Amino acid sequence: MELFLQFCINGLMLGMMYALVAVGFTLFFGVLDVIVFSHGDTVMLASFTGLGMYRLLEFFHPGLGAGWVVFWVLAAAVAVVAVLGMLTARFIIMPLRGAPALNTLLATMMFGTALREAVRLFFPDGSNPKPFPRLLPDWSAQFGTLNLRFDNLVLFLTGALIIVLVHLLITRTKLGMAVRASAQDAEAAQLMGVNFRLIVLVTFALGSAAAAFAGVMNGLYYNEINFNLGLMLGAIGFSAAVIGGLGNIYGAICGGFIFAFLQTAGVAAMPFASAYKDVFAFGVVIVMMALRPTGLIAEQSSRRV
């Protein structure tokens, strides 16, 4: 029973992280009909920016309070990654509007590779895994043999809060309405006075900011980051968004949790072969594509974004 709960907690944490990434994928697809594969590497960059910021603070303000450290680490990650997202939109995605979808996908893959390699080559000793500092207090509550960590709870709740905020922003504000209008029909939205380019930039900043949280969360959860984690996170976020049905935020969130469930269930069901968990998860994704070719919530009938 305790083991089962432990698996559940693990799965929920992973699922939240994946959902945060998948929301970015689905937002970008909703507005521009593109897959921005470099989004996974954006997450990785956020982790490294957070780490870099932490090191800077350690160097210049050794006695800074823990709360401020968390704040600055997050702020740096969000700022850098949001700007990067906007630059990606402005200089890679927008010029490729009208080109075949494959070109955009490939271009962003190449951009992702470039980011990954840049971190590996130019971050000090970037090719080795880096320890990520524990910034949150390590309180924990013990229920029998089940260990509930306080920092996990904080991370999970923050993730949920961000998703809810993104959702409210999209559904309840004027800005969100402009985003949804652009997603439905960019041309008509433009005719109605929506500044499409601005909306695209805002969407990319928004999606990337969610990814920044995922990145910092990833670092805090595993206490270790690696230049390579973006590829897998990108593939998982993409899978999650596709499983849910591209362009649909609820779908992306479900997809994230489904993927995390697949991975943890893979470990739980086959403890002797836990190394095969990714094989199992991606295998199920392939089978799902055969059964539901446009995702669980089909793209056509779903309301985009």
Partner 1 sequence: MRRRSRDLVPPGPAGCILLALCLLGWSVLFLKAEEQSHILVYMITSGMMVLVAALSGLHAGISATVQDNELTWDICLILVMLALLLIFCDDHYTLFLLGTIMIYAVTVLGLNVQLGCAGVINFSAASFFGIGGYTAALLSGSGLPPLLALPLGGAAAALTGCVLLLPMLRTSGHYAALVTMAFALLFRVFLEVSEWFGGPQGLPVPPLNLFGTDFSKDAHFGNLDVSFYVKYDAVCLVLLCLVFSFVRRLERSWIGLAMDAVRSDETASACFGINIARWKIFAFTTGNLLAGVAGALYAMMLGYISPANFAFADSLLFLSILLLGGLGNSWGVIPATIFVVVVPEKFQVIQEYRYFIYSALVLFMIVFRPAGLLPRTSRHYFGRPA
Q: Which stretch binds partner 1 (CB under 8 A): 1-9, 142-150, 216-224, 229-237?
A: 229-237
Q: Which residues contact 112 (CB under 8 A, 6 or more apart)?
A: 37, 38, 39, 40, 41, 230, 231, 234
- Binding partner 1 by CB under 8 A: which of 31, 76, 109, 296? 109
21, 237 Cβ separation under 8 angstroms: yes
* 86 sits near partner 1 (criterion: CB under 8 A): no
* 118 sits near partner 1 (criterion: CB under 8 A): yes
* 111 sits near partner 1 (criterion: CB under 8 A): yes
* 242 sits near partner 1 (criterion: CB under 8 A): yes
* 5 sits near partner 1 (criterion: CB under 8 A): no
- Binding partner 1 by CB under 8 A: which of 202, 216, 295, 297? 295
SS3 279: helix
| Least separation in angstroms between CB 177 and partner 1 | 26
Tokens of 55: 């090191």
* 106 sits near partner 1 (criterion: CB under 8 A): yes
* 283 sits near partner 1 (criterion: CB under 8 A): yes
Q: Which stretch binds partner 1 (CB under 8 A): 3-11, 67-75, 187-195, 282-290?
A: 282-290
85, 205 Cβ separation under 8 angstroms: yes
* 238 sits near partner 1 (criterion: CB under 8 A): yes
List alpha helices for 223-248, DSSP H. 229-244
- Binding partner 1 by CB under 8 A: which of 26, 49, 218, 239? 239
Q: Which residues contact 294 (CB under 8 A, 6 or more apart)?
A: 245, 246, 300
- How far apart CA 164 and CA 171 sit, in angstroms, is 10
Q: What is the dihedral of CA 41, 43, 47, 49, to 10 degrees?
A: 80
Q: What is the CA radius of gyration of the chain?
A: 19
Q: Which stretch binds partner 1 (CB under 8 A): 53-61, 170-178, 204-212, 276-284?
A: 276-284
47, 132 Cβ separation under 8 angstroms: yes
In 3D space, the residue among 81, 22, 7, 44 whose CA is nearest the CA of residue 217 turns out to be 44
92, HSE (Cβ side, Cα atoms, 13 Å): 24
User: Binding marks (x or -) toward partner 1, 29..68, rule CB under 8 A?
Assistant: x-----x---------------------------------
* 286 sits near partner 1 (criterion: CB under 8 A): yes
Residues near partner 1 (CB under 8 A): 29, 35, 92, 95-96, 99, 101-103, 105-107, 109-111, 113-114, 117-118, 121, 231-232, 235, 238-239, 242, 246, 273, 275-276, 278-279, 282-283, 285-287, 289-290, 293-295
